[in-house]
Chain A
Amino acid sequence: MPEAIRILAAAGFTAAVSVCAGLLLSRRLALKLCRGEELAVSFVAGSALLSWLVFSLAVLRCARPVVFLIAGAAIVAGALWRVRPAGNPLPDYPRAWKALFAAVFAVFTAIYLLHALAPECSPEGAAHHLALVGRYARDHGFLALPGSLPNGMHMLFLFGFVLGGHSAAALVHLGFLLALPFVMLAYARRAGLAKAGVFGALFTFVSPVAGADGASAHTHVAMATAVFTVFLLLRLWFRERRIELLAPIGLVALFAATATIGNSASGTAAPSLLDIPLEATILGGTLGGFIGPLYLMAPFAILALRVREGRILLLATVLAGAACPFDAGVRSLIPALPFLSLAMGVAFASTRVAAPALIVGHALLSLPNVAGWYCDAGAWRIESTWLRAALRLRPEESFLAARLPAYPMIRRLDGLVPEGRAVFSLSAVPAAYTSREILIDNRLSEALRIAVSPELRPTRHWRFAVPSQRLRAVRVRNDGAIPIHELRAFAGGREVARQTGWRLSGRPPAPDVQQAFDNSPVTFWAGKRLEVEFGHPVSLDAVVLESPPRPARFTVEALPESGAWTAARAAGYDDVPRPRGLRRSAIRELKARNIDYLLAPDSEPAGKDLAERPSLWGAAELARAGGFRLYRLR
């Protein structure tokens, strides 16, 4: 119980500092925000400010509890010192709608609070976000200046994490979920659409995917709240043309842009176009969550076109949803949900019964125990309130071990792997719970899979004949983006030795193109184009492309010493035995990157093979737990 209070205090302090930073900004710029919106907008704008402050402290390697406490206390004191009476109230709305808003908001806030307070076990929070944040916390900032802007939410997480640990970071994100309905309602009340505002705010707030994301150490809800706050401030600016509004707009817009940097795709497999509506609203198994069955009524939002604000909301829905095609998961819909929900609210608000009935129905269908009846078993959502775990009446270790299969193994890494050494993992693991760096790299994982999967091995050699002559370059068109493990040039039946002066290029441009010329059977280039310039002309009469045994359409062209590109003659292919030493070749790729430790689940083909014949890989098993094994590599 004292642990839960400490976590709540840390998260509460972070939220208070954010609000106070926002209030200082608001009053310094005389933004003249209304009562009822000032706190929520200040929280978002202040979070953006706090994020930059933490970033600056992290650059100076001052990310320490005492520094955060002093800086935070100074901000809170400053805000209290400059306290001013709030502005005018927002337009009022019917009492019954207020009661509906308060009731639904209270029930779901309690659910979300307990979920966020429980030990963090969300897939991306435990595996990615808090692993990075934990590293920053251990190093008191950045060991080296980051090559790009860091994720804005990571900086906020860092503030909460340093003071209260993993759950405090999740609670910091929950702050954005709790602020979102108030920002939405503020916009709607200003626009004279209060009922639509209640409808939209609650529809978004109780949506299962928004709840699961917002009550975890994820980032999409923060982005959605920041995007909607920018929208609210922009609408204010268009109406009032007050230049001082541009400062918070720019600040929050930049925060929104950085809030999801480095996120990974959340879907497990892309469903067919026809299945997407059902998957996104009800099932959620393949899209990493679902937004709720009553969003199937979203097409009615088109009725919002009747009014000007409705048209603006629908346009904003399209713009905010534009990120979806780049991410298979339904979480990428979250920034569009507030706009879509408000547009639905505009469409339904004039009805006496339908709008409240839809809100209550959506809320009931989104309750954790109810959603379990209709969604896929694997759909990511809040499954229960985890009261005992949240209050730390159930030990954190036992809760996390039950939720995260890799957790027991991860907890042992600190004792098994020397400090400063990285561990390569074949699958996502809760890296937030170890101080050792966990590396996940799809290309390296693929190298290990190639070693044990006959269908992935480069056993098909495509031959192309070129008239024997001196060539300046050879290029390959690879329409199917089939992996090319090696491109080898031959003259008189012997391979032409590769020279250091050769220059390699590909489309899309990427250093991976070198992997078609590294002599390793477990690495490859899978782009559309591949070209090698020889520097000095080279005599050759054949080109061989090594690829997996599957259909492919390669076109090879050669550039003679004088003349234009000419097509090489395709001479068929040979299926050859697998290359020898594939397992060791894969391990050599790890060793080439200074990786000495490998974590593999027994359920993966490569993990199973490692468990059966570790000596062939040159791996010695150090420990096993929860279906995972840790190996030291020779």
Chain B
Amino acid sequence: MIAALSLAGCALGPETYPLPAQRPQGFQAWELEPPFVEMKASNAAEYVVRDISPTPEGATWTFDHPELRFLLNSTSGLRFVADIGVPPVTMEQTGPVTISVRINGHPLGWIRYPAPGDRRFEQPVPPEWLDTTSYTRVEMEADKHFISPRDGVRLGFILHRAGFVE
């Protein structure tokens, strides 16, 4: 009797299913990730295209041709901001350093480091350089590199954070 009762509980599931409720695709501004990266954040690596090595603990060094990418939520009224540091140890070898910034291949500007330290690069970005359907690529390049006497690695500068702000 118990076996019969157990078997009575067996049933075939449906073979086909209806269309489910459709999830809305729209988002409010606060729900969208801002196009800005803290290099110590856990998701920093997904902004890096090349030549940047994000580390959660230590300094984020750049190498030969550092490049980042951002997915923009809008294109107008944006400024590109980057907090960059050049430490004394590299400047001893390189002397004053100039770092230039290009957005989607367009030269945006440069920042000169006559002395070691942290400084902010900040420039408005022409909206016609930008679009929201593909990644916006940002190249930052130092005119001189520190070459490590120990292993020959070419180091550029330290990147703290970078991105687009309104």
Do chains A and B interact in one complex? yes
Interface residues of A (CB under 8 A from B): 148-149, 250, 254, 452, 454, 498-505, 509-511, 513-515, 517-520, 533, 577-578, 580-581, 583-585, 588, 592, 605, 608-609, 612-613, 615-616, 618
Cα–Cα distance between A585 and B30 once the two chains are bound (Å): 13
Asked if B20 and A518 make an inter-chain contact with CB atoms under 8 angstroms apart, the answer reads yes
Task: Determine whether the beta carbon of A254 is less than 8 Å from that of B27.
Answer: no
Given the known interface contacts A254-B2, A519-B25, A583-B33, the answer about A612 and B19 at a Cβ–Cβ threshold of 8 Å is no
Residue in B9, B24, B41, B43 whose Cβ sees the most chain A Cβ within 10 Å: B43
Q: In chain A, what residue has the closest Cβ to B13?
A: A509
Interface residues in B96-139 by Cβ distance below 8 A to A read: 133-135
CA distance A90 to B92 in the complex (A): 92
Within the assembled complex, what's the spacing in Å between the Cα atoms of A520 and B18? 16
4 further contact pairs, Cβ within 8 A, besides A504-B17, A580-B71, A613-B41: A518-B22, A518-B23, A581-B27, A581-B32
**Are A514 and B17 interface neighbours, CB within 8 A?**
yes
Which of B2, B6, B23, B46 interacts with A585 by CB under 8 Å?
Answer: B23
Whether A149 and B19, one on each chain, are in contact in the complex, defined by CB atoms closer than 8 angstroms, is no
Residues 1-18 of B, flagged 1 when their CB comes within 8 A of A and 0 if not, give 011001001000111111
Residues of B participating in the A interface, judged by any CB pair closer than 8 Å: 2-3, 6, 9, 13-25, 27, 30-33, 41-43, 46, 71, 73, 133-135
Min CB distance B49 to A, Å, is 13
Mind listing 18 A-B residue pairs with CB under 8 Å?
A250-B2, A254-B3, A498-B19, A499-B19, A503-B17, A504-B16, A505-B15, A509-B15, A514-B19, A514-B20, A518-B20, A518-B21, A580-B27, A580-B33, A585-B23, A612-B42, A615-B30, A616-B30
Residues in chain B near residue A511, CB distance under 8 A: 17
Whether B42 and A605, one on each chain, are in contact in the complex, defined by CB atoms closer than 8 angstroms, is yes
A110 to chain B, nearest CB (A): 38
Please give, as numbers and ranges, the residues of chain A lying within 8 Å of B133 by CB-CB distance: 577
Q: Could you tell me the distance in whole angstroms from the C-beta of A155 to the nearest C-beta in chain B? A: 14
The 10 A-B residue pairs with the shortest CB-CB distance, nearest first, are: A581-B27, A514-B20, A503-B16, A520-B23, A584-B31, A505-B16, A519-B22, A519-B23, A518-B20, A502-B19
With the chains together, A583 CA to B41 CA distance in Å?
Answer: 16
Q: Which single member of B14, B16, B20, B33 contacts A616 (CB below 8 Å)?
A: B33
Q: How far, in whole Å, are A579 and B108 apart by their CA atoms in the complex?
A: 28
The distance in angstroms between the C-alpha atoms of A149 and B32, with both chains bound, is: 46
The winner among B27, B31, B42, B73 for most chain A CB atoms within 10 A is B31
**How near does chain B come to A503, taking the closest CB pair, in angstroms?**
4
Nearest-neighbour CB distance to chain A for B75, whole angstroms, equals: 14
Residues of A within 8 A of B43 (CB): 452, 609, 612
- Closest beta carbon of chain B to A65's beta carbon, Å: 28
A584 touches B27 (CB 8 A): yes
Report the tally of A-B residue pairs with Cβ distances under 8 A: 88
Chain A residues closer than 8 Å to B15, beta-carbon distance: 505, 509
Please pick, from B2, B9, B41, B73, the residue contacting A580 in the complex, using a CB distance under 8 A.
B73
Contacts of B32 in A (CB 8 A): 580-581
Q: How far is B73's CA from A583's CA once the two chains are assembled, in angstroms?
A: 15
A82 to chain B, nearest CB (A): 25
Residues of A within 8 A of B73 (CB): 580
For residue B165, give the distance in angstroms from its CB to the closest CB of chain A.
16
User: DSSP majority for the A interface?
Assistant: mixed
CA distance A500 to B17 in the complex (A): 11
Contact A498 B18, beta carbon cutoff 8 Å:
no
A615 to B30, CA, bound (A): 8
Q: Which residues of A contact B13 (CB under 8 A)?
A: 509-510
Specify which chain B residues have a CB less than 8 angstroms from the CB of A609 in the assembled complex: 42-43
Are A498 and B22 in contact (CB-based, < 8 A)?
Answer: yes
Task: Judge whether A616 and B31 touch: CB under 8 Å.
Answer: yes
Q: Which residues of B contact A519 (CB under 8 A)?
A: 22-25
Task: Determine the chain A residues whose CB is within 8 A of the CB of B42 once the complex forms.
Answer: 452, 605, 608-609, 612
Q: Shortest Cβ distance from A593 into chain B, in angstroms?
A: 12
A577, B20: Cβ atoms closer than 8 Å:
no
**B18 and A504: CB pair below 8 A?**
yes
Q: How far is the CA of A316 from the CA of B1 in the complex (A)?
A: 27
Q: Is the CB of B22 within 8 A of A612?
A: no
Shortest C-beta distance, A631 to chain B (Å), equals 15
Query: Is A454 in contact with B46, judged by CB distance below 8 angstroms?
Result: yes
- Cα–Cα distance between A43 and B32 once the two chains are bound (Å): 61
CB distance from A325 to the nearest CB of B (A): 23
Q: How far, in angstroms, from A586 to B93 measured CA to CA in the complex?
A: 49
A605 to B46, CA, bound (A): 13
Cβ of B70 to closest chain A Cβ, rounded Å = 10
Whether B20 and A517, one on each chain, are in contact in the complex, defined by CB atoms closer than 8 angstroms, is yes
CA distance A250 to B5 in the complex (A): 14
Closest CB in chain A relative to B59 CB, distance in Å: 19
CB neighbours of A584 from chain B (8 A): 27, 31
Q: Is the CB of B6 within 8 A of A149?
A: yes
Residue of A whose beta carbon sits closest to that of B5: A149
Bound-complex Cα distance A510 to B133 (A): 35
Chain B, residue nearest A588 (CB): B23
CB pair A513–B17 under 8 Å, yes or no, is: yes
- Complex CA gap A581/B6 in Å reads 46
Bound together, the chains give a CA A613 to CA B73 distance in angstroms of 18
Residues from chain A with Cβ under 8 Å of B46 in the complex: 454
Q: A residues within 8 A CB of B33?
A: 580-581, 583, 616
Q: Is the CB of A503 within 8 A of B18?
A: yes
Q: Which residues of B contact A503 (CB under 8 A)?
A: 16-18
In the bound complex, what is the Cα–Cα distance between A513 and B19 (angstroms)?
10
**Which residues from B are CB-within-8-Å of A505?**
15-17
A520-B27 Cα distance, complex, nearest whole Å: 13
Q: Which residues of A contact B6 (CB under 8 A)?
A: 149, 254
Check B9 against A149 for contact (C-beta < 8 Å): yes
Q: When chains A and B are docked, how far (Å) is the Cα of A612 from the Cα of B14? A: 43
Nearest Cβ in chain B — how far from A211, in angstroms? 32
Q: Are B22 and A577 interface neighbours, CB within 8 A?
A: no
Chain A nearest CB: distance from B52 CB in Å?
A: 16
Are B19's CB and A517's CB within 8 A? yes
Separation in Å of the A368 CB from the closest CB of chain B? 38
B9: chain A residues at CB < 8 Å are: 148-149
Would you give the shortest CB distance from A108 to chain B, in whole angstroms? 35
Query: CB-nearest residue of chain A relative to B34?
Result: A616
Bound form: Cα–Cα A581–B24 in Å = 11
**Interface core residue of B6, B9, B17, B73 (most chain A CB under 10 Å):** B17
A576 → chain B closest CB, angstroms? 8
Q: A520–B134 Cα gap in the complex (Å)?
A: 20
A452: chain B residues within 8 A (beta carbon): 42-43
A418 to chain B, nearest CB (A): 25
Cα–Cα, bound, A453→B36 (Å) = 17
Chain B residues with Cβ below 8 Å from A533 are: 16
From A250, A515, A581, A583, B20 is in contact (CB under 8 Å) with A515
